């Protein structure tokens, strides 16, 4: 099973931890490193574009989307969070490839760190597990054309 991970560089002190959690979950599920396609993008806003592009290649069974938005001085927060979530859903609907949402939207860096800590609460791990489950489900359901 080939899986893509799209990870934002913005707030990389968090997103790299989400990436570690996602990679660990994929490895535990038997997905080898060769079967993981990693795409880095500038920020959460760009995640849906890259997710859609890699899904359109037909190479991957699911896309894990990882990012981190920390509410603060930026008025961008709501716009980017909304564009990211809606964009991922739209990209998944348009391509038929499941995409999971491992994008943190928190009030503080502390909250983000809690959700990016190693272990079962890591949201990158959770997103990877959801992606595998959905890819497995879709493989079982089929596309109705065979």
**Bridge partner list, 37:** 4
**Residue nearest ligand INI by beta-carbon distance:** 43
Of residues 103-132, those binding ligand INI (CB under 6 A): none
Pick between residue 46 and residue 129 the one whose CB is nearest to ligand INI: 46
Encode 76-92: b = buried (16+ Cβ within 10 Å), e = exposed: ebeebbebbbebbeebb
Q: Which of 67, 87, 98, 102 binds ligand INI (CB under 6 A)?
A: 67
Active site residues: 76
Residues in the chain: 146
Q: How many residues contact ligand INI, by CB under 6 A?
A: 16
Binding segment toward ligand INI, per CB under 6 A, in 6-14, 21-29, 55-63, 128-136: 6-14
Question: In the sheet where 3-8 sits, what is the strand order?
Answer: 36-41, 3-8, 62-70, 99-106
CA distance 146 to 56: 20
Is residue 58 at the binding interface for ligand INI, with CB under 6 A as the rule? no
Q: Which residues bind ligand INI (CB under 6 A)?
A: 8, 10-11, 42-46, 67-70, 74, 76-77, 80
């Amino acid at each position: 099973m080939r899986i893509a991970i799209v990870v934002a560089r913005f707030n990389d002190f968090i997103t790299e931890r989400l990436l570690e959690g996602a990679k660990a979950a994929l490895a535990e599920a038997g997905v080898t490193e060769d079967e993981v396609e990693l795409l880095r993008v500038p920020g959460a806003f760009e995640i849906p574009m890259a997710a859609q592009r890699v899904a359109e290649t037909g190479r991957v069974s699911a896309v894990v989307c990882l990012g981190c938005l920390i509410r603060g001085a930026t008025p961008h927060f709501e716009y980017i969070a909304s564009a990211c979530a809606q964009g991922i859903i739209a990209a998944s609907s348009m391509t038929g490839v499941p995409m999971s949402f491992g994008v943190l939207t928190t009030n503080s860096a502390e909250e983000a760190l809690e959700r990016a800590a190693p272990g079962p609460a890591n949201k990158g791990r959770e997103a990877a597990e959801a992606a595998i489950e959905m890819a497995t489900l879709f493989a079982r359901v089929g596309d109705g054309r065979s």
